[in-house]
Structure 1
Amino acid sequence: MTNDVILDKVSIIERCVRRIEEVYDNDPASLDDFTKLDSITLNIQRACEAAIDLSMHIVAEKKLGLPQKSREAFDLLQDTGVISGSTAARMKAMVGFRNIAVHSYQDIDHDILKKIVNDHIDDFKTFTRQVLHNVG
């Protein structure tokens, strides 16, 4: 079932993750530079949006249901074994961060952003790997 939409969304996520890693460069001081902060935040947001789009596409293709909220698409993928429970939970948390970034940018907690970049940016890689393995 790996089609162009799936491959395109995976490519977007991978590109965003690479950009985050390049800009952050394992240096927490990067978050004190507003240009780097904007780049990191924007690429997390883009990766989240691509992950949501990818999930919704798979849900529609496999006729898994009609999620009322974007986060529910991750639950449907988990319920059908496309992604693990821990991956679903982490992606839903990323969507929560994305919502803050989109709607309340000035309220972004730098400690949370640092934790995401240091400890959870690989969650996107895990998500795409599981999708490609179980759908592709």
Structure 2
Amino acid sequence: MVDDNIVIDKLRYINEYTNDLKQIRGMSKQQYVDDIIVQRAVERTFMNLIQSCIDLAQHIRASEGLSPSGTAKNEIESLGIAGILSPEVQEQVEEAVGFRNILAHRYGDVNHDIVYGVLHDDLYWFDQFQQEIAQWYQELE
């Protein structure tokens, strides 16, 4: 059985990180590329956001006895297989896990144009993730 406190806390963190990133979206690409402090803040916030999604997925998977643990992408996949996440959200959050790995492990140089694009074009998927998890959670009660 899921721990209410974990689900609520993780959803709150996901919401806070997403909102933090939305506040940064007003700057131009050139301003972003020229400001290493903002770049680091955005990258770290993305890592925290995506890790919170993984942690929440891991907790739900383990609590609900879903497919066995594996990689971080497997944690997200298990929620899709169980019908907790839509196929679109599952796919996008799995891609985000790969993005987090690039940011966290610095595989090559981080492409700031890509990070800027994700910041402006892909936060929607984290809102969707929150909504689908919250809807599933409400249906449990």
Superposition pairs of residues 4-19 of structure 1, within 5 angstroms:
4-19=5-20
Q: Report if aligned partners of 2:14, 2:49 keep a CA contact under 8 Å in 1.
A: yes
Q: Does 1:81 align with 2:83?
A: yes
Root-mean-square deviation (CA), in Å?
A: 1.6
Q: Return the alpha-carbon distance in structure 2 between the equivalents of residues 20 and 51 of structure 1.
A: 15
Distance in 2 (CA, whole Å) between partners of 1:78 and 1:60 is: 14
Residue in 1 that maps onto 2:25: 24
Structure 1 residues 105 and 33: alpha-carbon distance in aligned structure 2, compared to 1, 3 A threshold: farther
Other-structure match for 1:96: 98
Runs ≥4 residues deviating over 6 A: none
One-letter code aligned to 1:39: A
The gaps in structure 1 that reach 5 residues or longer are none
Tell me, in whole angstroms, the C-alpha distance in 2 between the residues paired with 1:105 and 1:14.
Answer: 27
- 1:24-55 Cα offsets, whole Å, 9 max, x none, are 32532223211111111110000000000000
Q: Residue 12 of structure 1: CA displacement?
A: 0.7
Question: Of residues 107, 125, 128 in structure 2, which corresponds to 1:126?
Answer: 128
Distance 2:60 2:128 in 1: 16
TM-score when normalising by structure 1: 0.92
**Structure 2, unaligned runs of 5 or more:** none
Residue in 1 that maps onto 2:74: 72
| Separation (CA, whole Å) in 1 of partners of 2:3 and 2:26 | 32
Counterpart position of 1:36: 38
Distance 2:117 2:97 in 1: 15
1:111-122 aligned at under 5 Å gives the runs: 111-122=113-124
Percent identical across equivalent pairs? 22
How far, CA to CA, are the matches of 1:19 and 1:105 in structure 2?
25
SS at match of 2:136: helix
Counterpart among 61, 64, 68 of residue 62 in structure 1:
64
CA distance in 2, matches of 1:2, 1:119: 32
How far did residue 120 of structure 1 move? 0.5
Determine the C-alpha separation between the residues in 2 that align with 1:101 and 1:94: 10
Residue 76 of structure 1: CA displacement?
A: 0.9
